[in-house]
Chains A and B, each alone.
Chain A
């Protein structure tokens, strides 16, 4: 890939991600926030592509931009309130929250910028990422993989039971 294209692509995607994330936080209508959240997820998927994780990008689009965004939209609808324009307000301690978040960003940025990371500890391979991930998942991490599957099943059942409300015994 051309270097310049790569740089431009990164900045565009980063801008999409950050601005839509800011929109998620700042917008007063929760429906808008939810839509921008989906946009953020798509932007992050683009970042994954830049990082040679094309399989992950696909997963990201399907799971986040598809499933989770829709789930959240359902959540918004099921907890509707009369005035949707004021449905996503800040709370009373927003300023403090901002200071804390900004402080955290400051420390993290400082840490990242002052650290020298060891780069390229292993030689790159030509293997495509789907194959590599599949090998790892189904060989080395089989048990974890099954556990994650179990977790999802349990979470689904649990979510249904909680949302439905248990019958009074």
Chain B
């Protein structure tokens, strides 16, 4: 296994290759579309191979689970602050590397079909490469600051890719919204990082893990504060309530971007960050509780919105928010394994669904309302098939991937003693099955819309979906409870606790998912119950959900009242006080200058006179002080 060893030792190549591809595309291949996309794909395929090597190496060395492999070099240092950059490999990293490189590669191959003929073709691949490089850099970070740098870089890529169609106003607005909203979270994260740096003197994950137990005993409050501040970053990045508003709007970007960034990788960076800094949270039950309840609430809340949305990608986006809430919930109740497991399976099936959605939208030229689609399966059997696989996976039908990971989370909530969150997870699972089935039934099976002339997508778009579909079906088996040394053995925090398969939970999950799908069938498939009648009956709830609980409007209102009011006050202060000071100093300077100007007579003799008078004065002063003092004063002497 020389290759595995090589990959383990040269893991820094994994983010570097896409970055090199980015530089190449930007510098040389801007007008060579084929070369650009080929470079991008080759670089990410090699990265993927290296990531596989890392996974293989980790599987050979179980000690890496407890003791991460770290190699780093000094980045910069100053008194009290030593920051290095490097590579940290443990099983979590290996899993993330695998997922990110896999999805990135698939999305790039898919994009060669999806973006065909787009004027920004090369630019798109350049951005994708930059994103892949930043995301992989984030994954292998050894310390919080390095992670923060890449964290911001992926935010930048997200901004660039959401605003990819920059000539569209909505895309521009969405890009700005995404950037600014996540920045709010990043601010909290930055303060948290500073707080950690000040208290520990280091930002290295490994060192923090060693120092944390003693520190947590001494300062429980500080640890909670740090934990919550650091968690504010993931709230923004991973679209948790109340900073989730940007993620649905981010669907303005091209569909492959939604699949890669806003479903499979970047948005889970927040989850990953919490997992990386898990030592920090582990010692603060309060912070853990905050995470758990925010995650749980987000999961339920986003699912409630998704039920009534009409745009396909928006439904998927709210589903992503909801699933991210799931992952947070799992972390909050203390199960790193369950969270990471769901992160992985979710990456498979959600990326698959986004790519399938992209394929459908591509075929009907951007008609986004699912009620205007209808009957796509006849013309697009493959896409429809993949979408159904995604649906079954996310709904949690065995043996599809989502079933195993969701069950892990539900079990973790139960084991952690969070009975309320257990029910929240169950209800969310039901809603998820329902709204996803609704989308699939309406868009792919209902009555055909004669205005649409769909056609099946080419092979280079179908093949990546096939790979992801395969993983969405079988990828979850690595974590099935019967597998000895399964996923939760490799990816864990602390002791490995093998647990038996809980048949009761499994059965209830299947039942709930089945009920959700069945209900959707009753309403939208067979139409035994009229959907619009239901909407009228519960018009209040429907409106609430359809308008996303008016969160955007609330923000708008807050913006108008609070921000605008504050700014009026600040404007006054700026005008009177700040400008007054500035104008005043300018006036004073002007007045002084007016007076001093008189000393400039233009008479050479006056200047000479002042010169000699100054000489006399200086000599006199120096004579009075004595030569030694005078020399010391002007900085001369020995």
Contact = CB atoms under 8 A, between A and B. Distances in A.
A touching B, CB within 8 angstroms: yes
B612 A107 contact: no
Contact of A107 (B605, B606, B623): B623
B541 interface: no
> Which of A103, A106, A110 counts the most B-chain CB atoms under 10 A from its CB?
A103
B615 A97 contact: no
A148 to B, nearest CB: 26
Given A103-B613, A104-B612, A104-B615, A97 B620 contact: no
Given A103-B613, A104-B612, A97 B619 contact: no
B573 interface: no
B616 A104 contact: yes
A107 B618 CA distance: 10
Contact of B609 (A96, A107, A110, A111): A96
A107 B613 contact: no
A85 B217 CA distance: 102
Contacts of A104: 612, 615-616
A91 B605 contact: yes
Contacts of B620: 107
Nearest to A107: B619
Q: Chain B contact residues: over half helix, strand or loop, or mixed?
A: helix
A56 B613 CA distance: 33
A97 B609 contact: yes
Nearest to B614: A100
A110 B612 contact: no
Q: Which of under 10, 10 to 19, 20 to 34, or 35 or more describes the interface residues of A?
A: 10 to 19
A93 interface: yes
B606 A93 contact: yes
Contacts of B623: 107, 110-111
A103 B609 CA distance: 12
Contacts of A97: 605, 609
A99 to B, nearest CB: 8
Contacts of B613: 100, 103
Contacts of B606: 93
Contacts of A101: 612
A44 B619 CA distance: 28
A97 B616 CA distance: 13
B605 A100 contact: no
B288 to A, nearest CB: 81
Interface string A63-106: 00000000000000000000000000001010011001101101
Interface of A: 91, 93, 96-97, 100-101, 103-104, 106-107, 110-111
25 contacts: A91-B605, A93-B605, A93-B606, A93-B609, A96-B609, A97-B605, A97-B609, A100-B609, A100-B612, A100-B613, A100-B616, A101-B612, A103-B613, A103-B616, A104-B612, A104-B615, A104-B616, A106-B616, A107-B616, A107-B619, A107-B620, A107-B623, A110-B623, A111-B619, A111-B623
Given A96-B609, A107-B623, 15 more contacts: A93-B609, A97-B605, A97-B609, A100-B609, A100-B612, A100-B616, A101-B612, A104-B615, A104-B616, A106-B616, A107-B616, A107-B619, A107-B620, A111-B619, A111-B623
